[in-house]
Amino acid sequence: MIILGIESSCDETAAAVIEDGRRLRSSVVASQVEVHHRYGGVVPELASRKHVEMILPVVLEAQAKAGIQPADIDALAVTQGPGLVGSLLVGFSFAKGYAFGLGIPWVGVNHLEGHIHSAFLDPEPPEFPFVALLVSGGHTALYHVTSFTSAELMGQTRDDAAGEAYDKVAKVMGLGYPGGAVIDRLAAGGDPSRVPFKRPFLDKNGFDFSFSGIKSAVNRFVQSHPDELADLVPHIAAGFQEAVVDVLTHKLVAAARARDCNRIALVGGVAANRRLRERVRTDGAANDMLVTIPPLEFCGDNAAMIAAVGYRYLEQGIRGALGDDVYSRNRQ
């Protein structure tokens, strides 16, 4: 069964072709970073317009790379929410129209479920059950995943998402947008003990997280050290990153222990972070846990993960209807 997946929830226009739920035939991601860079964050209206421009070329490229014609597609899967409504509408409306024109079924997919499913795109996918830490620009949450279509939310951030904290911290240090990857790189050359930060929620509040306090602490430190800033940036980046990674890793392992589960997965845009990948692997191994961290191309927003989820729902006979709408806030 050949599924075309489409993703347009934020600032990436993406399309992918997946065969039988797991075999990747193509995955194309058009990033809008250069559009939003100068504004220091995603500008929703500009994002929608760019999606309109890119959706068709991206879909055509995904089909060409997969070596398929439109007539070879059996079904479509498209992100329905959560995300920016204007952005979601572009991919969602395109998918409805395309499926209607081709006379094939389609299904709307939850973006967060998509990220969780990126674990199944790994060459060694996890077995059920496993505990997944989803860390992205919009979400930070822990799930106990028991089947392809069911997961229990164990905890989540009470304020900022981890990726959002990375982006905001990068911004106050003048490192541009998006800042996660820049901090990752700079932190490698810094000493985390030079500018240490408190580990928010480390041993409290169950499996919930909080990142707005550490973001403010970095901001205060930056404002109070204007003269030494140039020299301190790598150390601040390292100190901030070490605190965030410590909390994320600690809670992931603790959540798996709480469910008597020895399998963990790390997914979402921040799962591209080198230090976080390293810590989850070493702490997981130290606790006799099997660790799945998908390849980088499936960590950030992509359509392969959307097609992978869509396959499981379509398999169960679930279909979208022309009257369905997108949703901006999460619903499970």
Binding positions for ligand KG4, rule: CB under 6 A? 10, 136-138, 163-164, 166-167, 178-181, 184, 268-270, 272-273, 300-301
Which amino acid is located at 143 in the chain?
Answer: Y
> Which of the listed partners (ligand KG4, Zn ion, none) does 178 bind, with a CB threshold of 5 to 8 Å by partner kind?
ligand KG4
Alpha carbons 240 and 170: distance in angstroms, whole number: 10
CA distances in angstroms from 262 to 184, 279, 286, listed in the order given:
28, 16, 11
Element housing 163 (H / E): helix 162-172
Q: At what angle do helices 212-224 and 162-172 cross, to 10 degrees?
A: 10
Only segment of 52-60, 71-79, 256-264, 297-305 that touches Zn ion (CB under 5 A): 297-305
> Which of the listed partners (ligand KG4, Zn ion, none) does 243 bind, with a CB threshold of 5 to 8 Å by partner kind?
none
Q: How far is the CB of 96 from ligand KG4 (least distance, A)?
A: 22
Q: How far is the CB of 145 from Zn ion (least distance, A)?
A: 17
Q: Considering beta carbons, is residue 91 or 129 the nearer one to ligand KG4?
A: 91
According to the binding rule CB under 5 A, does residue 136 interact with Zn ion? yes
According to the binding rule CB under 5 A, does residue 301 interact with Zn ion? yes
User: What's the order of all strands across the beta sheet hosting 150-156?
Assistant: 150-156, 140-147, 130-135, 263-267, 290-292
What residue has token string 């619903």? 331
Under a CB-based contact definition with an 8 Å cutoff, are residues 161 and 111 in contact? Answer: no
Q: How far is the CB of 274 from ligand KG4 (least distance, A)?
A: 7
> Which of the listed partners (ligand KG4, Zn ion, none) does 114 bind, with a CB threshold of 5 to 8 Å by partner kind?
none
CB count, 10 Å around CB of 229?
14
> Which of the listed partners (Zn ion, ligand KG4, none) does 239 bind, with a CB threshold of 5 to 8 Å by partner kind?
none
* Nearest residue to 242 via CA among 231, 234, 254: 234
Q: Considering beta carbons, is residue 167 or 301 the nearer one to Zn ion?
A: 301
Q: Considering beta carbons, is residue 171 or 319 the nearer one to ligand KG4?
A: 171
> Which of the listed partners (Zn ion, ligand KG4, none) does 163 bind, with a CB threshold of 5 to 8 Å by partner kind?
ligand KG4
Q: Considering beta carbons, is residue 294 or 300 the nearer one to ligand KG4?
A: 300
| φ/ψ of residue 221, rounded to 5 | -65, -45
What residue has token string 């597609």? 73
Q: Considering beta carbons, is residue 110 or 136 the nearer one to Zn ion?
A: 136
Only segment of 142-150, 198-206, 231-239, 298-306 that touches Zn ion (CB under 5 A): 298-306
Show the tokens assigned to 141: 């949450």
Q: Considering beta carbons, is residue 116 or 233 the nearer one to Zn ion?
A: 116
> What's 61's DSSP letter?
H
Alpha carbons 191 and 274: distance in angstroms, whole number: 16
Show the tokens assigned to 207: 């499996």
> Which of the listed partners (Zn ion, ligand KG4, none) does 167 bind, with a CB threshold of 5 to 8 Å by partner kind?
ligand KG4
SS3 316: coil
> Which of the listed partners (Zn ion, ligand KG4, none) does 180 bind, with a CB threshold of 5 to 8 Å by partner kind?
ligand KG4
Binding residues for Zn ion (CB under 5 A): 136, 301
